[in-house]
C-alpha cells in the first residue's frame, strides 16, 4: 500500500482497531456502531454518470434488498439491444461493516456495468454480530432465488439469465465461494438463472495460524491481521475459531475432497484475484493451487503494487479489474 494511502486513513487500525471500524466494543462483548468506517475514495475518474440504478426490496422482514446497476445507453437506446451478462455482486466489509449503499462501492459497480458491459445486481445481506454467519450466505442464496423470478422489468428486459456470474470483493468473495458451492448443488432449482462462473476479488479468508504474508504485513493500514481477527470474532458462529470452514476453506476441502465435484460437472469457471500488498494473498494463492489440484477450472490473477480493497478505492484499478472480468465473460 502506498504511503499516500497510509497517510489518508483517519485512524490507524493497529492502534485503535475498533475505532478504525467505526465502533466500540462493550464490556459484555457486544458492539456499538458509531459511524461507517471512512475510506478515502479517488473521484478524479468517476464513471457513475455512465450508469443508472434502481433499488428493490428482497425480504422486508430481514431488511435485505438489491441495487440494480445498468449502463445508461440501455435506457436511452431506441433500438432493441442484445441482453447483457448478469453479474450478481456481494459487497465486502468483513461481514460486520458496509452496505450496498456505501459510497466506496459505487465506482466499482459503475465500472463493471459500463466496461464489460453487464447488468449488475448488488445484494444487501444482514451484518454480524447481530446476524452471524451463515446469515449472509442464507440471505445471498435467497437473493438468487429472488432474482430467478425476474422481479423487475430492468432484469427481464436487459439481463441474459443464461449468462450469470457471482462476484464479490473481500468478504463478498468469501460469500461467492460458499454460496457458489450451495448453488452448484441446487442449480436446477435456480433456472432460468444459469451460473457460468465465480469471481472472487481479493477474497476474505482466515485461519488460526498466521501466513507469511500476514506476518509480513502485520502493520498494514487497510486490513492488518488484528482487524481480520476482530471481523472473524464477530462474524463466525459463537464458539468456533478461525479454522472453521466458513473462514478457512482448506478445512472444508480436507473434510470433503468431493466438495467441488458439482462445480466441475457444471463446467463453471473460477477467477481469484489478489495482490502482494494484501495480507490475505498467501491464502488466496493457496486456494487457487488446491482448486487446480482438484481439477477445477480456476485462474489466479495476482498483481504487484496494490493493496486490499484497491479496486473499490482506485478507479483505475477498478477499470483494470473490470477488463479482466470482461475477458473471462467473453470467453464463455
Q: Write down the catalytic residue from 139, 220, 278, 314.
A: 278
Residues 111, 114, 122, 170: which is the catalytic one? 170
Clarify whether 91 is annotated catalytic. no
Residue 84 phi, psi (nearest 5):
-105, 155
Active site (annotated) includes residue 278: yes
Output the 3-class SS for 112-166: HHHHCCCEEEEECCCCCCCCCCCHHHHHHHHHHHHHHCCCCHHHHHHEEEEEEEE
- CA separation for the pair 55, 209 (Å, rounded): 41
Q: Is 7 exposed, middle or buried (0-12, 13-18, 19+ CB in 10 A)?
A: exposed
Q: Is 308 among the catalytic positions?
A: yes
Q: Which of 308, 310, 314, 322 is catalytic?
A: 308
Alpha carbon distance 182, 324 (integer Å): 25
Query: Residue 48 phi/psi, 5° resolution?
Result: -65, -25
84 and 120 Cβ atoms separated by less than 8 Å: no
- Annotated catalytic residues are 170, 278, 308
Amino acid at each position: 500500500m502506498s504511503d499516500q494511502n497510509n497517510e489518508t486513513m483517519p485512524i490507524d487500525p493497529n492502534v485503535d482497531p475498533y475505532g478504525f471500524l467505526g465502533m466500540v466494543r462493550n464490556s459484555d462483548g457486544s458492539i456499538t456502531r458509531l459511524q461507517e468506517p471512512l475510506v478515502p475514495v479517488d473521484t478524479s475518474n468517476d464513471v457513475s454518470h455512465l450508469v443508472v440504478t434502481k433499488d428493490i426490496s428482497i425480504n422486508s422482514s430481514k431488511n435485505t434488498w438489491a441495487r440494480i446497476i445498468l449502463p445508461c445507453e440501455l435506457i436511452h437506446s431506441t433500438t432493441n439491444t442484445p441482453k447483457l451478462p448478469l453479474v450478481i455482486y456481494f459487497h465486502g466489509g468483513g461481514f460486520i461493516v458496509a452496505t450496498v449503499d456505501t459510497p466506496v462501492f459505487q465506482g466499482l459497480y459503475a465500472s463493471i456495468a459500463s466496461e464489460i458491459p453487464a447488468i449488475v445486481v448488488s445484494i444487501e445481506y444482514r451484518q454480524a454480530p447481530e446476524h452471524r454467519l451463515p446469515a449472509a450466505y442464507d440471505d445471498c442464496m435467497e437473493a438468487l432465488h429472488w432474482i430467478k423470478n425476474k422481479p423487475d422489468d430492468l432484469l427481464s428486459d436487459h439481463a441474459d439469465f443464461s449468462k450469470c456470474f457471482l462476484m464479490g470483493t473481500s468478504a463478498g468473495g468469501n460469500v461467492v465461494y460458499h454460496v457458489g458451492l450451495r448453488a452448484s448443488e441446487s442449480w436446477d432449482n435456480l433456472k432460468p438463472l444459469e451460473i457460468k462462473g465465480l469471481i472472487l476479488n481479493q477474497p476474505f479468508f482466515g485461519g488460526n495460524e498466521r501466513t507469511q504474508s500476514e506476518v509480513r504485513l502485520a502493520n498494514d493500514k487497510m486490513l492488518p491481521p488484528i482487524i481480520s481477527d476482530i471481523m472473524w470474532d464477530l462474524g463466525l458462529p459463537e464458539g468456533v475459531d478461525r479454522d472453521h470452514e466458513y473462514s478457512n476453506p482448506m478445512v472444508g476441502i480436507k473434510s470433503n475432497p468431493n466438495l467441488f465435484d458439482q462445480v466441475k460437472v457444471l463446467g463453471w469457471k473460477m477467477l481469484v484475484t489478489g495482490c502482494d500488498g494484501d495480507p490475505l494473498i498467501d491464502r488466496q494463492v493457496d486456494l487457487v493451487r488446491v482448486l487446480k489440484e482438484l481439477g477445477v477450472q480456476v485462474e489466479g490473477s495476482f498483481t504487484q503494487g496494490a493493496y486490499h480493497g484497491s479496486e473499490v478505492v482506485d478507479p483505475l484499478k477498478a477499470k483494470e479489474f473490470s477488463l479482466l472480468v470482461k475477458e473471462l465473460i467473453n470467453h464463455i
